[in-house]
Structures are given as C-alpha cells and as structure tokens.
A and B are shown apart, each in its own frame.
Chain A
Amino acid sequence: MTEKSSIISTMTGFLYPFIVLFGFYIIANGHNTPGGGFQGGSVIAALFIARYLVLPVDDFNMDTLHYVEKAFLVFLLLLPIVFIFPGLHLVYDRFNVPYLIAMNFLIGMKVSLGLTIIVFRFGFFREG
C-alpha cells in the first residue's frame, strides 16, 4: 500500500470499467435478478476504494460527497412517502416497476457514497 506497484495499478485500470458495469447491472436489474441497491452500491464503493489503493490522494472535495449523499437520502425518503405509504401502488400498479428501479438506484447511490465516505475518513485521517 505504501509503495507503488505497477501490477496493482495496471490491473485496477483494466478492471475499473468492469466494476462500474457490474455495479450498475446489479442495481438496474435488482427487481429481476438477485442483488439490489445495497449490493450494487457496495460494488461501486469498491471502485472508489480500488482508486484509493492505486492513488492514495484526496484531491476531490469530501464536502460535495456529504451533500450529495444527504440529497439522495432526502429523495430516498420522499419517494416511498409519496408512493407507497398513501397506498398509491395499489391503484396505479403500472408504476410499480419504475418505482422499484428508482428506489434501487437511490439506495445504491446512497450506500456507495456512505461507504466511500466512511472508508476515506479512515484512510485519510491523521492524528494530531
């Protein structure tokens, strides 16, 4: 982790797009195949962590991550409050599948940002 390893950096660069693809596949097909928001979100968080393994620098703004994460949480709370809790899903049942996809996407983004923040906090924390 301290020394730069060309094997790790090359292989991570090769695997990067596949990790993104796998994560978004798990999220987008969460209503049909095993997986869902949490699993896909943690796969996407693994992407940021692979980046941390290769290049341990904090050259992006963590505040933005916090704000985006909270915004996703607000939407995550709003969508079921509007759609599920009043019972609208029983009336307009053609919106059920879009609702599932949207919820999986929101949960995935929230989870990936949350795990990324937690890991980066640990990784870049310096005492004193």
Chain B
Amino acid sequence: MKNVAVALFCFGMFFGVVFLTVEHNVELEPTLYNYFIEHGTAETGAQNIVAGILLNYRMYDTVFEAMILLTSVMGMLHFLYTGHGHGGGHGKKAGAEAHKGGKND
C-alpha cells in the first residue's frame, strides 16, 4: 500500500511538472543570447561559442569542474587504497583492512 502511494506520488509529480511546463511556456528575455551571438566571437576570439563561454565568460564554472574531477580522483585513491602507488598486490594488509566491511556482490 505504501509503495503504491509512493508510485502514485511520483507519477503525479512527473505529470504535474510536465503539464505545468507545457502550459506556462515562459519566454526568457533573449538579451544574453543576443549578446553572445553578437559580441562573443569578437570578445573571446572563439568561433565555437561554447568554448568561448566555457573558457572566458564562465571561467569559474570550468575551474570548479576541474576541482570536481580532482575530488573524484582523490576519493578513488582513498577508497581503493592498494598500499602503493602503482597497481595492486603490494598492500595486501591495507586492502584487507579497508575492505573488512564491504562485500558487495
């Protein structure tokens, strides 16, 4: 019964959101769009305006995306610790220690 209620709620939310967005088609003001089309190439020197926006107008986003990749690599190095930098098989004890709790099949 609870599962049915949850499923109904999810479907209701989904269709509600879909119908709301179809009904209220908000037209954004095209100022930013027009600005990038007009001045983008001249200001950033990029023919591909996506690269211009990513690397010039929205540089903060790109920098923090790179930080996200660094964070994921750090997590990988921490949780899949093999005791030594290259490959596995060297840190048997450490690997067993780190994975005492998790047998995920």
Contact = CB atoms under 8 A, between A and B. Distances in A.
Interface string A76-110: 11001000110001100100110110011001001
Contacts of A84: 56, 59
Nearest to A110: B66
A31 B66 contact: no
Interface string B87-105: 1110010011001000000
A122 interface: yes
B85 A126 contact: no
Nearest to B102: A127
Given A73-B70, A121-B80, A128-B95, A31 B63 contact: no
B96 A128 contact: yes
Would you call the interface of chain B mostly helix, strand, loop, or mixed?
helix
A31 B66 CA distance: 19
Interface string A44-63: 00000000000000101111
Interface residues of B, number: 33
Interface stretch (A8-16, A17-25, A111-119): A111-119
B85 to A, nearest CB: 4
Contacts, number: 113
Interface of A is mostly: helix
A127 B18 CA distance: 46
A31 B52 contact: yes
Interface in B13-63: 43-48, 50-52, 54-56, 59, 62-63
A126 B81 CA distance: 10
Given A89-B56, A128-B96, A61 B86 contact: yes
- The 9 A-B pairs at the shortest CB distance, nearest first, are namely A58-B87, A96-B45, A63-B85, A126-B88, A62-B86, A31-B46, A32-B47, A97-B45, A128-B96
8 contacts: A32-B46, A32-B48, A58-B87, A77-B63, A80-B63, A121-B76, A122-B80, A128-B95
